[in-house]
C-alpha cells in the first residue's frame, strides 16, 4: 500500500510540476510580451511628447518676439543668449527641467535668427526658429521589434545622432529621444483686417459695404485705386469681444469673434469663426533723438515740411492740433511729388471742424501719433495720395489706461489707417460719396451712416507690426542613414 501510494503521489507531483512549468513558461512569455508592449508604448509616448517640447520652443520664441514689439522696457529676450553673427540677430535658449510625462524632465533648446534671405519686399524681417525637444526614455535601452520603428522615431538609446547641432553621433549615458523642428515666422501688420475691435464692433446700416482691393496689383485695383469691378473678398472683420453687430451690411470677407456671435449676418460672403483673439500691442509715446522745435501747437493755417528719408523723417511734437474756420494744416513734401516722410506726435487732442482741414500733400507719407482724442469733421483729412498706407494714425496708450475717442467724419474722403486700441472709434460719412479707404483698429468700432469701407490689402504689409505668425514648419528627422 505504501508503495502504490508513493507512486500515485509521485505521479501527481510530476503532473503538478509539469503543469506549473507550462503555466510558468506561458506566464513568462506573456510577461515578456507585455513588457515589450509596455516599453513600446512608453517609447512612443515619449517620442510624441518630445514633439510637444519642440513645438513649445517655437511658442517660447514667438512669445519673445511679441514681447519685443511692446514699448520699452519690454524685457524681451531676458535670459536668452544673444550671439549676433554675420550681421544677423541670433538668440538661444536652453531650458527647462520641466514636468513632462510622469514627472520626467523636459529639455527645450531654441535658437532664433534672422537670415538675410528672409527679408520680404516691404523690408520686413522674417525669423527662423529652430528647436530641439528632448525627453528621457523610461525603462531599458532596448530597441523595438520592428526596425521601421527605429527608423521612424530615431530613439537615442545609446547614441545621440547630433552633436552640437551637427549630424555626428556621440555616446550617451541614458536613453532619450529628441525631435527637431524649424519654423519660419513672419511679421503681421496691425492692419491685417479691414476692422478689428477689442470689444464691440457695430455696423449700423444694411447699406454699408465692406470689401477689399489691392493697390499693388493691377488685377485687384485700377492705377492703385479701388475699383468696384475688381472687388476682392478680404474685407475681414474681427473682434476680441463676443459681439459683431453686422447690421446686415454687405461684408465681402470673413468675420470672427472671440467665442461670440454675429448678428445681422445675412450679407456676409466669407466664413464666420468664433476662435479669434489678437492682443493689441500698445503704442508707446515716440522717443525721438531730435524734433523740429516749432511749431509747438497748431491752431491756425500752418505748413509742416516732410523729410526726404524714411529713416530720418521730419519730426514734430505738438501739444495739440485744433483747427476751425477755414484753417488748413498742410503736410508738405517736394513739389515734384517725390516720396517724403513726416512723423508728428500730438500730446493732446486733434480737432478739425468747420471748413478746416488737414492736407497730406502728394508724395508725403505721414504718421501721426496722438495721446488725446481725435475729432475730425469739417473738410476732414485730405490724403492727396489716395493711399491708406501714406497716412497712419496711432493712438498712444494712455498712462492711466483711460478711454479715448476717435471720430472720423467730415466732407472729405477718408484714406488712412487708424490704430487706436484704447479708443472708441466712430466712423461716419467719408464725404459725400461715403467711402473710407483703409483699415481701422479700435477698442470699439462703430460705423454710422452709409459708410463704405474698402480695405487695401497692401495695408497688411505696412504699418506697425502687431504679431508674428508661422508661415513655414518642418520637422528635421534626418539621420546618417537617410542620405
User: Which residues of this chain interact with another protein, rule CB under 8 A?
Assistant: 19, 22, 26, 29-30, 33, 37, 40, 44, 47, 115, 117-121, 126, 128, 144-146, 148-149, 151-153, 167, 182-184, 186, 192-193, 212, 234, 236, 238, 254, 256, 273, 276, 457, 460-461, 469-478, 482-483
Smaller CB distance to another protein: residue 26 or 102?
26
Q: How far apart are CA 482 and CA 54, in angstroms?
A: 21
Distance CA 437, CA 382 (A): 12
Across 193-217, b (16+ Cβ under 10 Å) vs e yields bbbbbbbbbbbbeeebbbbbbbbee
Minimum Å gap between C-beta 1 and another protein is: 16
User: What is the DSSP pairing of strand 176-189 with strand 340-346?
Assistant: unpaired
CB of 278 to another protein, least distance (A): 8
Between CA 180 and CA 130 the distance in angstroms is: 7
Closest approach, Cβ 33 to another protein, in A, equals 6
Q: Which is nearer to another protein, 255 or 359 (CB)?
A: 255
**Residue 165 or 325 with smaller CB distance to another protein:** 165
Query: Which sign, positive or negative, has the C-alpha torsion 313, 458, 466, 403?
Result: positive
Least Å distance, CB 65 to another protein, is: 16
Please identify, using beta-carbon distances, which residue of 153 and 250 lies nearer to another protein. 153
115-133: b (≥16 Cβ within 10 Å) or e: eeebeeeeeeebbbbbbbb
Measured from the CB atom, the residue of 99 and 122 that comes closer to another protein is: 122
| CA distances from residue 164 to 84, 160, 225, 412 in whole angstroms, order as listed | 18, 11, 53, 62
- Residue 212: CB minimum distance to another protein, A: 8
Instruction: Compute the distance between CA of residue 442 and CA of residue 425 in angstroms, rounded to an integer.
Output: 6
Task: Tell me whether residue 226 or residue 316 sits nearer to another protein (CB atom).
Answer: 226
Can you name the residues that pair with 360 across neighbouring β-strands?
331, 383
Q: Which residue has the cell 522615431?
A: 153
* C-beta of 148 vs 432, nearer to another protein: 148
SS3 401: coil
Amino acid at each position: 500500500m505504501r508503495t502504490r501510494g508513493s507512486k500515485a503521489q509521485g505521479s501527481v507531483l510530476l503532473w503538478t510540476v509539469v503543469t506549473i512549468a507550462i503555466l510558468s513558461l506561458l506566464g513568462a512569455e506573456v510577461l515578456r510580451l507585455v513588457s515589450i508592449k509596455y516599453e513600446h508604448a512608453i517609447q512612443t509616448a515619449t517620442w510624441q511628447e518630445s514633439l510637444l517640447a519642440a513645438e513649445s520652443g517655437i511658442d517660447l520664441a514667438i512669445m519673445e518676439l511679441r514681447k519685443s514689439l511692446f514699448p520699452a522696457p519690454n524685457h524681451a529676450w531676458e535670459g536668452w543668449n544673444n550671439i549676433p553673427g554675420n550681421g544677423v540677430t541670433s538668440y538661444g535658449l536652453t531650458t527647462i527641467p520641466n514636468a513632462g510625462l510622469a514627472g520626467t524632465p523636459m529639455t527645450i533648446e531654441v535658437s532664433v535668427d534672422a537670415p538675410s534671405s528672409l527679408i520680404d519686399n516691404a523690408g520686413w524681417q522674417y525669423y527662423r526658429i529652430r528647436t530641439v525637444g528632448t525627453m528621457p526614455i523610461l525603462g531599458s535601452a532596448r530597441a523595438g521589434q520592428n526596425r521601421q520603428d527605429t527608423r521612424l522615431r530615431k530613439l537615442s538609446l545609446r547614441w545621440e545622432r547630433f552633436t552640437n547641432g551637427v549630424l555626428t553621433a556621440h555616446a550617451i549615458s541614458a536613453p532619450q529621444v529628441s525631435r527637431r523642428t524649424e519654423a519660419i515666422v513672419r511679421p503681421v501688420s496691425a492692419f491685417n483686417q479691414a476692422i478689428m475691435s477689442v470689444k464691440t464692433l457695430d455696423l449700423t446700416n444694411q447699406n454699408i459695404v465692406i470689401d477689399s482691393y489691392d493697390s499693388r496689383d493691377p488685377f485687384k485695383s485700377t492705377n492703385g485705386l479701388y475699383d468696384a469691378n475688381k472687388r476682392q473678398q478680404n474685407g475681414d472683420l474681427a473682434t476680441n469681444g463676443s459681439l459683431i453687430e453686422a447690421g446686415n451690411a454687405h461684408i465681402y470677407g470673413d468675420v470672427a469673434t472671440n467665442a461670440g456671435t454675429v448678428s445681422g449676418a445675412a450679407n456676409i460672403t466669407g466664413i464666420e469663426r468664433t476662435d479669434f483673439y489678437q492682443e493689441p500691442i500698445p503704442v508707446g509715446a515716440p522717443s525721438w533723438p531730435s524734433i523740429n522745435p516749432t511749431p509747438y501747437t497748431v491752431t491756425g493755417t500752418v505748413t509742416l515740411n516732410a523729410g526726404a528719408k524714411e529713416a530720418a523723417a521730419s519730426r514734430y511734437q505738438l501739444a495739440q492740433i485744433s483747427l476751425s474756420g477755414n484753417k488748413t494744416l498742410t503736410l508738405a513734401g517736394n513739389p515734384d511729388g517725390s516720396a517724403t516722410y513726416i512723423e508728428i506726435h500730438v500730446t493732446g487732442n486733434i480737432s478739425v471742424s468747420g471748413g478746416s482741414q488737414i492736407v497730406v500733400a502728394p508724395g508725403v507719407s505721414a504718421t501721426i501719433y496722438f495721446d488725446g482724442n481725435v475729432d475730425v469733421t469739417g473738410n476732414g483729412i485730405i490724403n492727396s495720395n489716395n493711399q491708406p498706407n501714406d497716412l497712419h494714425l496711432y493712438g498712444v496708450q494712455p498712462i492711466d489706461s483711460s478711454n479715448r475717442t476717435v471720430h472720423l467724419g467730415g466732407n472729405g474722403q477718408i484714406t488712412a489707417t487708424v490704430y487706436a486700441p484704447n479708443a472708441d472709434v466712430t466712423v461716419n460719412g467719408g464725404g459725400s460719396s461715403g467711402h473710407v479707404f483703409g483699415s481701422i483698429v479700435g477698442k470699439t468700432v462703430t460705423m454710422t451712416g452709409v459708410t463704405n469701407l474698402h480695405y487695401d490689402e497692401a495695408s497688411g504689409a505696412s504699418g506697425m507690426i502687431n504679431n508674428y505668425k508661422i508661415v513655414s514648419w518642418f520637422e528635421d528627422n534626418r539621420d546618417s542613414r537617410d542620405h
